[in-house]
């Protein structure tokens, strides 16, 4: 068994409480130290069950908060992609973008992308956040974060996730130009855009 000289019992309170809630027949608080040590590994597994966190929101996105959602003690890497509103598009001055999504289908498509990622790379947690409504210049319209034990998996997964999101997820954006004109668009990489 792993040595326990530096094990801090108080730091086990929360995970043990949560494990007791999951398996009420166990009485973990009264276990001897050696049992506690072996339980600790199970706690990691229970608490760190892979999560796909998908959210559409009208609120401003926080890169720090989305990053924190995928952090795991089992992982050495978090990779992120943040899509921000540019102040120009095809030579025209953009003052903000407005996003709309067909929500049930959009969420479903992102869930499929998460599944694809898990088939391809050993990642832990995946978070895909997309803002809807007006997104001013320099603010984030999307934040994607993926954690993995080693860096290659999350780096490749994030790149795949944003490419797939642009190609497959029904999200429309309207550019609002300085000239007070605007136009709704499907993403030009979207698979059904070829019909235009």
Considering the complex, what minimum distance in angstroms separates the CB of residue 2 from its own copies? Answer: 6
Phi/psi region, residue 49 (left: phi>0; alpha: psi -120 to 50; beta: rest), is: beta
| Residue closer to its own copies, measured from CB, 60 or 103 | 60
C-alpha closest to that of 29 among 41, 46, 43, 17: 17
For residue 120, say whether it is annotated as part of any ligand binding site.
Answer: no
The residue among 103 and 193 lying less far from its own copies, judged by its C-beta, is 193
128, two tokens:
């895909």
| 32/138 with CB nearer its own copies | 138
Is 107 a known ligand-binding residue? no
Q: Which is nearer to its own copies, 56 or 81 (CB)?
A: 81
- 151 annotated as ligand-binding: yes
For 66, 90, 188, the CA distances from 176, given in Å and listed in that order, are: 27, 13, 17
What is the smallest separation between the CB atom of 104 and its own copies, expressed in angstroms? 26
Which residues here bind its own copies, judged by CB under 8 A? 2-7, 44, 62-65, 67-68, 71-88, 92-93, 95, 137-138, 147, 149, 151, 155, 158-159, 162, 178-180
C-beta of residue 141 within 8 angstroms of C-beta of residue 93: no
Could you please report the per-residue DSSP string of 125-163? EEEEEEE-EEEETTSEEEEEEEEESSHHHHHHHHHHHHH
Determine whether the annotation assigns residue 175 to a binding site.
Answer: yes
Annotated binding site for substrate: 150-151, 166, 173-175
């Amino acid at each position: 068994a792993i040595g326990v000289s530096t094990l801090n019992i108080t730091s086990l309170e929360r995970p043990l409480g949560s494990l007791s809630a999951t398996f009420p027949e166990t009485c973990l608080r009264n276990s001897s130290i050696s049992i506690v040590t072996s339980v600790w590994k199970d706690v990691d597994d229970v608490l760190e069950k892979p999560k796909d966190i998908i959210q559409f929101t009208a609120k401003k996105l926080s890169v720090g908060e989305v990053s924190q959602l995928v952090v795991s003690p089992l992982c050495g890497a978090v990779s992120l992609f943040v899509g921000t509103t540019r102040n120009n598009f095809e030579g025209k001055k953009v003052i903000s973008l407005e996003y709309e999504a067909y929500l049930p289908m959009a969420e479903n498509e992102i869930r499929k992308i998460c599944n694809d990622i898990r088939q391809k790379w050993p990642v832990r947690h995946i978070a895909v956040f997309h803002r809807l409504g007006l997104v001013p210049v320099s603010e984030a319209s999307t934040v994607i974060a993926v954690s993995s034990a080693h860096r290659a998996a999350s780096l490749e997964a994030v790149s795949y996730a944003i490419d797939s999101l642009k190609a497959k997820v029904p999200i429309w954006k309207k550019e609002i130009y300085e000239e007070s004109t605007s136009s709704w668009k499907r993403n030009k990489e979207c698979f059904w855009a070829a019909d235009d």
